Structure 1
């Protein structure tokens, strides 16, 4: 019986509760839209223009500072998608792709060295050749992990660009 009560107690503690989140939105002098969850983080010159945005499972609504619950769609796209200009987006994608290409080239070189080490081991059967192969395989695994991380970073940037309505040609 204690086990059942303990299980129910743990289950009730681990069950997530839905909590609506409130954010504040304002547009600066350059037209960039900013969001924060703390009104004190809003620069003083923009506090009067800031709107409270209620976020829940449904569509977000903007609450005017004057009225309690004025529902209207939240403003969306600015002149600079995601707060950055075309050059920033293009450079960011280029930097990540150049880094990915360098990692892929490094992996190709390591693979060639690994093939050579395996050939030597087949011919000579030395312990140091086996150790070198194991070390090289560890390096290849490390580079593979870096490549995977880089692909995740590119995918995350692409997702952020899509959410910020960045044109596809800027992502090339």
Structure 2
């Protein structure tokens, strides 16, 4: 039942009680003892009736004020301003119990905060073909070793070539056949020097340009191919 309906019912009940009291009790001095007894019983019944009608309604409102005037009439109102000032000191205030709160939607269960899982071993970085640091370092190390060997062989071949050239210079007074033999040996050494020089250049090219470029193209870490 809405508040408006409660107000209408309460107003009708109060109006009925007031009219009944005024009709029955307006001249108590002219009434006999029997009539006064009957009136007292009616008064009690009316008070009970008012209570039966208004109490359920009172429960639906917030505050109800009750007072009794000088004629013994019981009054009810939910507006304190409607109470005459001379009766305000005897007003009884009735507070209705609060309406049951609507069932609250269950709050979402709060899951216990879960800490971050302990960091596991970091995943090894790979290039786009799945090759890791070890593979690229092995490539760089292999070419580094080739460079070192080629540089050593180049130095050895060059030393041998200079020695033969010196020997040929010293053999200018020796037979031509001996000089031709030395010249043939010099040609072989020159080829060897050139080959070692080519290997040195190739190893340097791989270490300084080719491997870094390949690492970049395959999204490998450039530091993997740096060999000091």
Instruction: Please give the TM-score of this superposition, normalised by the length of structure 1.
Output: 0.49
Structure number with the higher strand fraction is 1
